[in-house]
Amino acid sequence: MARHKDIMYSSRTRYNTDLYRRIHSWKTRLEQALAKVPRELLSEDEKRLQEELSELPEVAILQLIYQQKSYEGHAKDYEFSGTSMREHWQSGYEDTTRTLKHKVWIAMPPPGQGVVVHDVHREDGL
């Protein structure tokens, strides 16, 4: 049961990140396609959309996904004792500290890069 919850919650975070990245990519491709159409052939709505899409931001996402302790059981998603909350906060603090050591992760991606995702538990080489 505990492993099921790990997969369920971790997968949801990664799913949302992947979905955001995919939508951003589609918007970028739509902007590139609209750029190939002569401006006078575009409707007013399409022109507005083209302008809106030309301002897509570069995005850096830093995933900090809680890693279950070996002694935690299946109640971890509703067990909010003071001890468990302090442990979770400490884990979050340690993940944040490790993430901030990766200066390249905190920098904004270069223009045209789109969405960049970093996960301290998958990429931490420190």
Domain borders along the chain are 2-123
Provide the token pair at 92.
Answer: 């979050």
In sequence order, the 6+-apart residues with CB closer than 8 A to the CB of 25 are: 114, 115
Q: What pLDDT digit, counting tens, does each position of 44-65 carry? A: 999 999 999 999 999 999 888 7
CA torsion, points 3, 77, 74, 15, in degrees to nearest 10? -10
> Which residue numbers in the chain have pLDDT < 50?
none
Place of tokens 């850096």: 60
State if pTM tops 0.85: no
pLDDT of residue 124: 64
